[in-house]
Amino acid sequence: MFGFIKKSLNKTKEAIKNVVGVEKKEKLPKDLLEEALIEADIDYDLVEKIINKLPSEVTRERLKKELEKIFEVPQTKLEINDKPYTILIIGVNGAGKTTTIAKLAYKFKNEGKSVILGAADTFRAAAIEQLSRWAEILNIPIVKTKQGHDPAAVTYDTIASAKAKGIDVALIDTAGRLHNKINLQNELKKIVNVAKKAYENAPHKILLIIDGTQGSSAINQAKVFNEVVGVDGIIITKLDGTAKGGSLFSIVNELKLPIYFVGVGEKPQDLVEFDKNEFIEGILEGLYSE
């Protein structure tokens, strides 16, 4: 599926070209490069850190080396090596959690794994309904309850059901309210503790969903979630719909966490494994001639 990430950066590349011009160059003046990187929504302090190490005229290869350093975090892949392998999906409402869960379920099912969904975002009736629709479309079981019921109980029941039925993967949705950090903190910590009671190795991964259209402004949200329960990795949604693709550098630089997947469209199959090399090449294509 090589090429999907580059294609999803088209809007970001256009934003960069508006700064550097359409005519391709082999070298870029430092000040112009600085402006282009900021336009791609790379955090200003990080741009300064990159720029300060560069000569007055910057080649593609020289910039590539600096950009690669930012992604020097453990680039682990998602390996289903236990049963039921439990993945907790967290993130703010509207980031694309439910759709991403459907995409993950589709991916695992295509790989021959059995999947169960847990609708533990009991704060919103719409979240339960949306996840139920996806379960029906993908023909996979779901554990759910009514709006307002205990999300930790749904988590426990999902893992218990997966164990009883010999299901490979349990994907659990959670609420994403950030207006009251204490409530969120208590709820998520309880979910994690109850998951461990259902199965001592659970949750195997806590994945944070970040809306790509929010760019660098999503970093503060991410920090809150990381402080509350600790995050194992990130999934970026809606990358194809934003000119802020450069924000991924800021997010990784700030959180020191791997990006596992990128959402590049609306369909269940529109979730691709993140490839840092393809991503960096995509940004460079907006700046330089080959």
Angle between helices 276-285 and 60-70 (to 10 degrees): 140
User: What is the overall mean pLDDT for the chain?
Assistant: 91
- Report DSSP letters for 107-173, one per residue: HHHHTT--EEEEEE-TT-HHHHHHHHHHHHHHT--EE---TTS-HHHHHHHHHHHHHHHT-SEEEEE
Residues 149-163 have pLDDT tens digits of 999 999 999 999 999
* pLDDT (0 to 100) of residue 38: 94
Residues 207, 233: contact at Cβ < 8 Å? yes
Nearest to 118 by CA among 87, 96, 139, 81: 87
pLDDT beyond 50 at 1: no
- Cα separation of 138 and 275, whole Å? 27
- Cα separation of 10 and 47, whole Å? 21
Nearest to 100 by CA among 83, 79, 121: 121
* pLDDT (0 to 100) of residue 24: 72
* Least confident span in 28-32, 123-127, 194-198: 123-127
Here the tokens at position 275 are 């490839």
Going along the chain from its start, the domains and CATH numbers come out as 4-73 (1.10.238), 85-275 (3.40.50.300)
pLDDT beyond 60 at 245: yes
Q: What is the arithmetic mean of pLDDT over 189-211?
A: 96
Q: Which residue has the higher pLDDT, 246 or 142?
A: 142
* pLDDT (0 to 100) of residue 180: 65
pLDDT beyond 70 at 142: yes
Residues 173-183 have pLDDT tens digits of 998 876 567 88
Question: Is 0.85 topped by the overall pTM?
Answer: yes
